[in-house]
Copies of this chain bind each other. A is one copy, B any other.
């Protein structure tokens, strides 16, 4: 069959869609949806096999179709497939080629199927793969963070609130905070995957199901879904899985933006807490001395892009009546772009974290400013002198004021000065005013004491490496 005949055959009766001009430009999706080709062919294989087994298509026709699909998959993989915008989308491009390869029997593949259930199936399969990729990359970034956490469990850094020095913390502890965020991301990803995989739309037809005696459980199982979707109208109209993927991605990207911001801060001259590996910085066209943290900035920025994708699709879905509407064709680009973007940001961040040189001296120096052990003093007053916390907080405030007036740190104030505020203070207090002592004392569960951090890192690594997610 000629290409032209094949195209005509695959497009059927009434449908004669323009291949050029503005309609072609706005309507054709092949430039975007060709990324779905393996998923589309997998879906067609499962559908064809089922049609044969249910006696709807003959063995002979079915095997011809399957062989044709194999050939097409190889052609596309090898880059030798000529996509045609006049055929609009990946489904019609493949079907038209099938006509060329095997003739009229190609027309039996679309029995008991519509592009509406077909694309919904393809796209779910793609999102499922993307979620698996994201999970693996999230785990890699966790490992990089855990490596740094174990190396720097005892590295004292300033813990900030409001970007003001608050209390000294372990830098490893700070790394592990991101491990927790990513763990939640992975949890959201798993939940999303379960819902993506819960329902196979194939067999929902255009919107109403079919009168052919198909076996939807068989195709669902063949494609690795947990079940067939329960409502044909919903099956072709639903894009929750894409929205949920984008929401997952937007929250994960937000986490990366926070780490990106911190890396930018830490590698600035006023902080000087870390030195980035040169491979993640770039130079300046005008300023010869610069090494700029471009990758960290781009990771920070690309949150916008991922959330923009969620915004785009949510706005598409708002107020859309059932069942299938062409509006939903706008679902793939935001999802593809968000997956590409998040995937790239995860890899970049993993490289940055793994290659980042920590500067313990600069961190310790910063931790020692700002009277960061004032809380330790207040806690000592509570613990040793049994002062109510608020009274201790009050007394500490007065002692901090003394230190500020003298321009010295808390542990440099003589005991006598301390006693002008609270006469019962003894020399024992100096045991809690050093930053190392402060960090070491935070042994409560989840606290920043190095021993806690080491245990938490070990546990996190174990969780990360476990085959079955917890």
Contact = CB atoms under 8 A, between A and B. Distances in A.
B452 A209 contact: yes
Contact of A22 (B251, B333, B347): B347
A104 B308 CA distance: 44
Contacts of A138: none
A394 B12 contact: yes
A444 B169 contact: no
Contacts of A282: 15, 17, 23, 27, 88
Contacts of A174: 233, 322
Interface string A241-253: 0011001001100
B329 A298 contact: yes
A461 interface: no
Given A14-B289, A230-B456, A393-B13, A265 B311 contact: no
Nearest to A11: B283
Interface stretch (A32-40, A66-74, A121-129, A397-405): A397-405
A17 B173 contact: no
Interface stretch (A77-85, A177-185, A412-420): A177-185
B240 A181 contact: yes
A321 B265 contact: yes
Interface residues of A, number: 196
Nearest to A108: B388
B164 A370 contact: no
This chain: copies in complex:
4
A213 B261 CA distance: 34
A304 B330 contact: yes
A450 interface: no
A138 to B, nearest CB: 14
A261 B321 contact: yes
A288 B374 contact: yes
Contacts of A250: 247, 314
A429 interface: no
A238 interface: yes
6 contacts: A22-B351, A23-B351, A27-B298, A254-B317, A305-B312, A308-B312
What are the nearest 7 A-B pairs in CB distance? A13-B397, A15-B283, A209-B447, A107-B390, A308-B312, A107-B388, A304-B315
